[in-house]
Amino acid sequence: MTTTNETKTWIITGASSGLGLALAEAALAAGEHVIGTARRADRFDVLKERYGDRLLAIEHDVRDTAGAAAVVQRALEVFGHVDVLVNNAGAGQVGSAEEITDAALRAMLEQHLFGPAAYVRAVLPHLRERRSGAIVQMSSQGGRMSFPAVGSYSAGKFALEGWSEALAGEVAPFGIRVLIVEPSRFRTAFNAADVLNTAQQQSSIYDEAIGAVRANMAEADGIQEGDPARAAQVIRDMLDTPDAPLRLPLGAEAVRNLTRVYRGALDDVEKWASVSESADFPGMPPAVRAF
């Protein structure tokens, strides 16, 4: 990420808890500016007391896509520029495909795709003009793999990753970096009973398939192996690393799981390659594409 001698300014959605809070605290402790959003602005009271005017707390629900532009505009009015956008706000959801309603599925897409997309659209003209900056998309190991009971959550994260991969190619010529972060479990409130969403109508029919997952998701609260403060430092370091990857698995479990998933997927492609290739017209030359 190209930087100047100006004090770095961050916009972090969902900055009052979890990895968003860890990133906000790291930035503020480094003397930087943070625009933090949350559904309730009073959740920033402790940080405001500690860091004063370097933190601008704004009440905003990322599902209100029309409000993203006003947050970015306010950031520019107060601090003059934005260097890093972190799309962090979101929540987990547990339930089988049959149990999750349209409204619940749509909520995952609104939080994990449409909300981040609105913030990106709002900040990009400013970053393009400065020809610098970074966009951090907080995804999940569940953005590259999925398993029973978390399909609705993964749907939002898969969508975010596909959208962000294209975005990275579009903005690279303007000196703008995109980093997709794929955490495993971190010691946040993500798994807490009052935070983790569950299907309102649960069916015993699926107990054998997803009962253990439901229990495991709840039992993880407070014992997750990931350290949010260490995660925040890793992300900060990656933004200053010229050859950083597009996707960053975060946590040992993410490394193990994604290694297994990638190798399994490659094995399948290679095993069935001749079958896949047989669907083409015979004798056709390889396609020439713009990517």
Tokens found for residue 54: 């370097």
Residue 139 designated active-site: yes
Residue with tokens 């749509």: 106
- Per-residue pLDDT tens over the stretch 15-73: 998 999 999 999 999 999 999 999 999 999 999 999 999 999 999 999 999 999 999 99
Which is catalytic among the residues 139, 152, 154, 184? 139
Q: How far is C-alpha 282 from the chain's CA centre? A: 43
Residue 204 designated active-site: no
If pLDDT is split at 50, 70 and 90, which confidence band does 211 have?
Answer: confident
Q: Is the pLDDT of residue 192 over 70?
A: no
DSSP3 helix / strand / coil % (the chain, rounded to 5): 55, 15, 35
Handedness of CA 19, 65, 34, 50 (dihedral sign): negative
Phi, psi of 182 (to 5 degrees): -120, 80
Which is catalytic among the residues 157, 164, 184, 206? 157
Residue 8 designated active-site: no
If pLDDT is split at 50, 70 and 90, which confidence band does 2 have?
Answer: very low
pTM: predicted TM-score of the whole model, two decimal places: 0.91
Q: Is the pLDDT of residue 229 over 90?
A: yes
Helices (H) and strands (E) in the chain, counts: 10, 9
Sorted by sequence, the CB contacts under 8 Å of residue 222 that are 6+ apart come out as 187, 191
CA atoms within 13 A on the CB side of 113: 19
138-155: average pLDDT: 94
Strands 84-87 and 93-94: unpaired
Which is catalytic among the residues 51, 119, 153, 206? 153
Q: How far apart are CA 54 and CA 78, in angstroms?
A: 10
H or E element at residue 38: strand 33-38
